[in-house]
């Protein structure tokens, strides 16, 4: 059961910011002998992002690493607000607020590790994935029941849509 306080915070959300490694993926980094990087993204997370976009919510990604795979996946999902190689994520956060003319209270952020804390402490809804670092869970307003890369982002998207009374309408499109 999602606490009423969290649902109330989620009603205000206009932007969902996601970390990548540990949130959109399970945090594992795979490299072959040539240095090529491999990541696995969960299809349900991607579909949740697409459904949330249909409700008018903006999606952004802020990652501490640079990866062509992330660029490719975000292009597939029509996510254009992509900030990579952000060791200090605060500058990207400030840019998003300015670019989208939002207040921090209108933003939800999903993180898993201590590098996410500077933004999590500023947003209207701070979310940790189930397998996040203990300090991140302690800072979060809500923690998913699912781990990063395993459908946690879909859980977040569904919760935001439910809080904003959009979930049933989106679901109805699939039941026609």
Domain of 101, CATH number, reads 3.40.50.1000
> Does residue 18 lie in a domain region?
yes
> What does the DSSP 8-state code read for residue 88?
S
> Does residue 6 lie in a domain region?
no
Token pair belonging to 75 = 């292009």
Q: Between β-strands 81-83 and 107-111, what pairing exists: parallel, antiparallel or unpaired?
A: unpaired
> Does residue 1 lie in a domain region?
no
* Residues spanned by the domain of 97: 11-170
The answer to whether residues 80 and 100 touch, using CB atoms and an 8 Å cutoff, is no
> Does residue 5 lie in a domain region?
no
Tell me the C-alpha distance between 48 and 102, whole Å: 22
State the pTM of this model: 0.96
> Does residue 84 lie in a domain region?
yes
Indicate the number of domains in the chain: 1
The tens-digit pLDDT sequence of the chain (176 residues) is 899 999 999 999 999 999 999 999 999 989 999 988 999 999 999 999 999 999 999 999 999 999 999 999 999 999 999 999 999 999 999 999 999 999 999 999 999 999 999 999 999 999 999 999 999 999 999 999 999 999 999 999 999 999 999 999 999 988 98
């Amino acid at each position: 059961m999602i606490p009423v306080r969290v649902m109330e915070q989620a009603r205000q959300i206009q932007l969902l910011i996601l970390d990548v490694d540990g949130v959109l993926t399970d945090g594992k980094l795979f490299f072959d002998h040539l240095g090529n990087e491999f990541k696995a993204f969960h299809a349900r997370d991607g579909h949740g992002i697409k459904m949330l976009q249909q409700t008018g919510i903006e999606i952004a990604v802020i990652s501490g690493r640079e990866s062509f795979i992330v660029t490719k996946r975000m292009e597939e999902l029509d996510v254009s607000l992509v900030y990579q190689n952000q060791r200090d994520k605060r500058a990207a956060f400030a840019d998003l607020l300015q670019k989208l003319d939002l207040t921090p209270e209108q933003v939800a952020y999903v993180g898993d590790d201590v590098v996410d804390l500077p933004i999590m402490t500023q947003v209207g809804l701070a979310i940790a994935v189930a397998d996040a670092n203990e300090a991140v869970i302690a800072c979060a307003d809500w923690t998913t029941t699912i781990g990063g890369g395993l459908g946690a982002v879909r859980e977040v998207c569904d919760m935001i849509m439910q809080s904003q009374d959009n979930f049933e309408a989106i679901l109805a499109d699939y039941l026609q």
